[in-house]
Structure 1
């Protein structure tokens, strides 16, 4: 099904663009072309999870990238607006953090009162009607966030972010932002008659921000359950005269059944009475799309979520989310009679090559040009050297140098931090995961730093997120369960099977923690003990074999310090028994800064993989996995497993085989 969008703007910019569109030969969307009297076409355009990607540029690789950038997405907005007689443009959150430009502004340049953040400057060019907050807006703290939001020329709403304790009635919550806005607009029906319409927009953020950014939010903010907030505020929107209500849900398309404080709550949210359409995000996927076939409560073919029109517009500007509504006025009220949805991409793949579908919008580039150039200078600054190349092509199948250097830095840092504390005599382990491991990011989405100078851009490539270091104290048995959870990334493999797919594509690579300081093997013939939400689905399973510390079987009762990040220590990823009650050290430093300091301290690092984890051998058994084509040049360097080239795979990936 196709859907497109165009804004229902009061702004002069919108009016002018409408004039231009009407004077051109434009192919109207069928809803605009065929609407009857008292029927109108309303198009909703969505950006989501921009993560500061204004330019089509990969700062980690220091090269242009045609798969991302608001400047590219922006260039199709005018055309998409022209296809409809009435439209609005919204942003669904996670615009403030996610690439080195975001870190440069937050940590180097800073934000003074009156400054306009480059991503906001770029968004202001496009004339958004509304936006909401994503979880990453909080990564740099509330003060920074609100300085940024002050520069927006459009309203931002969030119905479930409170200033303090939750009230008995959600409508009594003291909120940081307005829970919703109602836009008074005019729509033109199929007979050319203008009608007044009131469009309500309400926003939501995952309640998990209270764990993920506890350092910034504890004692200062709170977050209400998404669905309960909607059930409180949507009726009030209707009472205030909203004809159409659109939910801006920075929450993924997850389970159908309601449970309190769901992270991915868009399916039960869409089911709330009074919501007409929903834009989603957070998961970095595109809906409608193949990932959402056979999901309960979702009609992928029709673009419906709980029977309501929905969309998810990719990430980093890769797509523009479009919902087209055919609305009808009856008895003085508007109702949705039909809809289509589409996530329209800015590029396509042809013969493993990325082909740009659109050019840059110059005004968007100009809005962030100065900061783009400053970011380039920032990320090119050397901090040390590496004696070996750092790459993540095999990070999901073997001990890996890009993960190893993070673990070494965390261990170095935590040992120093705890040397004068009550925990000084406990052994220190370190948990780290690969962040760039292909998957949804594509065949080029891998860390690849050659031996030699290491610049800040390379460290940012090793550790993508501005997480802060934390340490937990847990038992040997809890270490085992941590690793059992991580091992859920692998599919079960029957002994004697040939070329079985190794990786479970629904398991995020950032939840595949490798723990250094112990040695262990993973038995693929066993089923996973936990599902991706930390539920024990096979309680008697035991994938982790030969788990040892200092060459001896690990003592289940022995206590260990594990260096990790605030996301994992706060319960992120649903790892069994890992939560804030285990935290014994909260660092003021980001994991990325710790890696930088470690490299500076060492001068030259040598993070050669030590193969502290391997697979249990299975006779006459082979598995396959996909990685970037550049992985082929490193095949001989992998330790602990023999990998061979198995040809080409889809979407530009290469396929590899492991004989177990």
Structure 2
């Protein structure tokens, strides 16, 4: 996909072409391989972009390559590398013995081998702590920039105390249209969503502060110009958003593109592949998808005024190049860099840790209670019960909130958790629980639990009383991975009611009504405890450093054989006979027997369309 627009009339003087290439949201997808399923994943991962990068460079005399963040977290390989780093006390790359064994962090090595010029960290790159990120940035062979998240805010952006460099000027030799060499100074800025302060509160509270991205970018763009930058590129780990976002907005790429002094914007975070061409008052934007799905490209036509020597942009063009399904020479070269870590990850992920008598999957997430959430909730609740055994909260009912993360999202409509009955392998734990969340306990009450469930129930489209027609079960683009079900209570979700008034008959496991003022303990995660996903906040009474995924793995290994059950008594209610439709993966078909779900015959081949009769 290519778009182009001239920005202004070409002035007389030297002309040059600069191609900006970008990747974003790799989430540790270095190879075209799915560790959760132990199978190839063609046209994904950095290796699948390597040949695209080489081709794009061969077409242009002057190129830059940027990494737009969320690089190190996101799959079993990334988590394994960070676990190895913690054991060593440093990242693998700084340990001379490990470097000698050729197990340096492969993402840093591969990105350096591809010639990355600079990077911004994404919000998920803070999941392992500030020190780990700073260590990685210090080892990289290219600079990191972070403009709006700082150690301490000053009176203005110029007085901020940085966590990483607030800006950077690259000096690159370029060749103009006549073959004459010039030195081009490229100013760099990098921003992350300020919500990272909430999402990673355990790592950042009291240690970092944010500044609105437009304010920080406006200040430092002008500072870069004063320092001699010919052009300024903003690496924006955020979605496109609005041209005039709310203060503290998460998606600010369009706003950043309209700031004076900014010439090109790389966007990301939302996992969308899209571009926007330049306008009279806006720089071009490219958002290169996720997981190595696309290479982003912005071509700038530069003109140098002979009387001042200043470069200006006469025209620009944006493009997206999809990843290659077959690796060429460059892809194979990057694969060789990753090979030692890949072998270790596969060996670890195929270790058997137990047996499940019950299949666990997310095929019907939000439509029916799931055994998979039952296992998560059981483990969380047991761990919190033990942690609070000698506390003043020990006699309170302990409830547990759990969700399923793989529910066929927009970046992969067939991404679901699936653990068949039989051996449980370590990779299944990542399939069930892909994020490095830690266990947390909240003290709340019946009102708080009701609000929690009401927030979860927003995913439903609803239906009018008496309407027996077929309609959608879920709202369009509903975040089903944010559907937290609270275990230890029973309730029904009345789909005839508006959002905020759908939870009915909320009762404890003993059958007694959960009164609004009755105190309870809710086992959840550090992510949810900070209000992430829009869930209500409450008093934190316990924080554990343990990953929920590790607790689940230990539970399975200790028991040897598990037989998870849904463990939460909820159901959907509405007009009798109403049929509500949703889509899932065809892999779900064997699990339809014994459920109130029916397959619809007129479904496309890549999706299984189901109806749920109320």
Shared fold, TM over 0.5: yes
The answer to whether 1:592 aligns with 2:549 is yes
**Cα–Cα, structure 1 residues 651 and 154, in superposed 2: closer, same or farther, change >3 Å?**
farther
1:567, CA displacement in angstroms?
A: 0.9
Measure the CA separation in 1 of the matches of 2:315 and 2:231. Answer: 13
The answer for the alignment partner of 1:2 in structure 2 is 2
Query: What SS does the aligned partner of 1:106 have?
Result: helix
Structure 1 residue 95 corresponds to structure 2 residue 71: yes
* C-alpha distance 503-191 of structure 1, shift in aligned 2 (>3 A): farther
Q: In the alignment, what sits opposite 2:127?
A: 139
Structure 1's 651 and 186: CA in aligned 2 closer, same or farther, altered over 3 A?
farther
| Cα-Cα RMSD | 2.6
Partner of 2:336: 366
Alignment partner, residue 516 of structure 2? 556
Aligned to 1:624: 581
Q: Deviations over 1:136-188 (max 9, x none)?
A: 1121222322332233111111112322x311111111112211221223444
Selected match of 2:302 from 319, 322, 327? 327
Query: Following the alignment from structure 2 to structure 1, what is the Cα–Cα distance between the partners of residues 320 and 125?
Result: 23
Aligned to 2:407: 437
1:520 aligns with 2:477: no
Does residue 659 in structure 1 map to residue 613 in structure 2?
yes
Matched, 1:244 2:231: yes
Report the Cα distance in structure 2 between the residues aligned to 1:358 and 1:652, rounded to whole angstroms: 28
Aligned runs of 1:546-585 on 2, under 5 Å? 546-549=505-508, 550-575=510-535, 577-578=536-537, 582-585=539-542
Which of 159, 168, 180 is the equivalent residue of 2:167? 180
Tell me by how many angstroms 1:408 deviates: 1.1
Q: How far off its partner does 1:488 sit?
A: 1.3
Checking the alignment, whether the CA contact within 8 Å between 1:311 and 1:342 is kept in structure 2 is yes
2:153 corresponding residue in structure 1: 166
Q: How many residues align?
A: 596
Moved more, 586-595 or 216-225: 216-225
Instruction: Mark the runs of 5 or more structure 1 residues left unpaired by the alignment.
Output: 5-28, 289-299, 348-354, 530-541
User: What is the Cα deviation at residue 498 of structure 1?
Assistant: 3.1
Q: Distance in 2 between matches of 1:440 and 1:499?
A: 24
If asked which structure has higher relative contact order (CA below 8 Å, sep 6+), I would say 2
Aligned pair partner of 2:209 in 222, 231, 234: 222
Q: Distance in 1 between matches of 2:476 and 2:343?
A: 36
C-alpha deviation, 1:497, in angstroms: 5.4
Per the alignment, residue 79 of structure 1 pairs with 55
Structure 2 gaps, min length 5: none
Shift of 1:318: 1.1
The whole-number CA distance in structure 2 between the counterparts of 1:379 and 1:623 is 38
TM alignment of 1:132-531, pairs within 5 A: 132-163=120-151, 165-288=152-275, 302=277, 307-330=282-305, 332-346=309-323, 361-494=331-464, 495-496=466-467, 498-529=469-500
Q: Aligned partners of 1:457 and 1:513: how far apart in 2? A: 23
Distance 1:374 1:493 in 2: 50
Deviation track 1:280-321 (CA, whole Å, cap 9, x = no partner) reads: 111112113xxxxxxxxxxx5x47797321111111111111
- Cα distance 1:552–1:359, how it changes in 2: closer, same or farther (>3 A)? farther
Distance 1:490 1:372, change over 3 A: same
- Asked whether the 8 Å contact 2:578–2:613 carries over to 1, the reply is yes
Distance 1:564 1:409, change over 3 A: same
Taking structure 1 as the reference length, the TM-score comes to 0.85
Hey, what does 1:124 align to over in structure 2? 112
Is contact 1:645–1:656 with CA below 8 Å preserved after alignment?
yes
Shift of residue 193, structure 1, vs aligned partner: 4.4
Q: Which residue of 2 aligns with 1:351?
A: none
- Judged with a 3 Å threshold, the aligned counterparts in structure 2 of structure 1 residues 381 and 277 are, in CA distance, closer, same or farther, namely same
Comparing 403-412 with 490-499, which one deviates more in the overlay?
490-499
Q: How many angstroms apart in 1 are the aligned matches of 2:226 and 2:496?
A: 58
Cα pair 2:145 2:189 within 8 Å, conserved? yes
Tell me the distance in 2 between the aligned counterparts of 1:210 and 1:251. 15
* Deviating more after overlay: 565-574 vs 305-314: 305-314
Q: Would you say the 8 A contact 1:39–1:190 is kept in 2?
A: yes
Q: Does 1:602 align with 2:602?
A: no
Aligned: 1:612 with 2:569: yes
Who is 1:646 aligned against? 600
2:423 match: secondary structure:
strand
Distance 1:617 1:238, change over 3 A: same
Which residue does the alignment assign to 1:11?
none
Q: TM-score, normalised by structure 2?
A: 0.91
Asked whether the 8 Å contact 1:442–1:651 carries over to 2, the reply is no
Alignment-derived partner of residue 533 in structure 1: none
What's the offset of the Cα at 1:360?
A: 6.5
Distance 1:652 1:476 in 2: 42
- Per-residue deviation, 1:457: 0.7
Cα distance between partner residues in 1 of 2:244 and 2:491: 37
Match of 1:20 in 2: none
Measured in 2, the distance between the counterparts of 1:434 and 1:574 equals 17
